[in-house]
Each structure stands twice: as C-alpha cells, then as structure tokens.
C-alpha cells in the first residue's frame, strides 16, 4: 500500500518552501528540471513519485529516502530524472531490500 509522504513527515529543517501558488510546478512526472536538494516541495514530490512506483511505501520508507537524499545523493545529481534514477539504483537497499519497480 502506498502512503503519501507529507511535509509534516519530513525530518529535515533545512528546506525552503514555496508559496501555495507555486506548488503546482511539482506535479506529474519528474523531468530534466534542475534539482535543488534544499527545495522541500521538490524533495517531497520526488519521494512521493518514487514511492508511488512501489507496491508498499510507508512514512518510514519516505524518511529513509529523505535521509539518503540528504546524506548519500551525489552532488552531480542535477535533474529530477537523475535523482529518480539514483533512487532506483541506490536506495533500494535502504528500503529493506524491496523489489525494484517494473
């Protein structure tokens, strides 16, 4: 079961957040749009997008992904797609070895 990860679930306090009229930017599919690891709306969007591709995704999984983005994501991950690809390759071991989405 997929559970949406919310702003309130995030552990980080270093994020910047958009005003309500700009949140619509982070909908749909990840793109080649530049990634900013300090943009809370964008990090939340990518965590939820990735979680939606898994059969099961919990708040704990979202926190593990958030931690991995903060501490393990390479600095050269410059687009949303590069972050998603990195999650697919790297974060699975941090999510209790859940199977990769097809």
Q: Would 24 be classed as within a structural domain? A: no
Q: Would 15 be classed as within a structural domain? A: no
Q: Would 30 be classed as within a structural domain? A: no
Bridge partners (DSSP) listed for residue 57: 2
Q: Would 48 be classed as within a structural domain? A: yes
Q: How confident is the model at residue 2 (pLDDT cuts 50, 70, 90)?
A: low
Q: Would 21 be classed as within a structural domain? A: no
Selection from 37, 46, 44, 43 nearest residue 76 by Cα: 37
Q: Would 52 be classed as within a structural domain? A: yes
- In total, how many domains does the chain have? 1
Q: Would 12 be classed as within a structural domain? A: no
Which residues constitute the domain of residue 55? 1-6+36-95
Tally of CA atoms within 13 A in the half-sphere of 55 that contains its CB: 5
CA torsion sign for 88, 98, 37, 52 is positive
Q: What is the pLDDT of residue 95?
A: 47
Question: pLDDT by residue (tens digit) across 23-59?
Answer: 667 888 999 999 999 999 999 999 999 999 988 899 9
Q: What is the pLDDT of residue 26?
A: 83
Q: Would 74 be classed as within a structural domain? A: yes
pTM over 0.85: no
Reading phi first (left if > 0) and then psi (alpha if -120 to 50, else beta), residue 48 is in alpha
Tokens of 95: 């999510």
Q: What is the pLDDT of residue 100?
A: 47
Question: pLDDT by residue (tens digit) across 47-94?
Answer: 999 999 988 899 999 999 999 999 999 989 899 999 999 999 885 555
């Amino acid at each position: 079961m997929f559970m949406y990860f919310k702003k309130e679930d995030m552990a980080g306090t270093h994020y910047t957040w958009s005003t309500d009229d700009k949140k619509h930017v982070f909908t749909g599919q990840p793109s080649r749009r530049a990634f900013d690891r300090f943009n809370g709306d964008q990090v939340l969007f990518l965590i939820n997008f990735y979680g939606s591709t898994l059969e099961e995704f919990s708040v704990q999984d979202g926190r593990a992904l958030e931690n991995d983005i903060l501490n393990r994501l390479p600095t050269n991950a410059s687009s949303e797609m590069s972050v998603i690809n990195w999650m697919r390759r790297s974060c699975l071991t941090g999510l209790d070895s859940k199977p990769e989405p097809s």
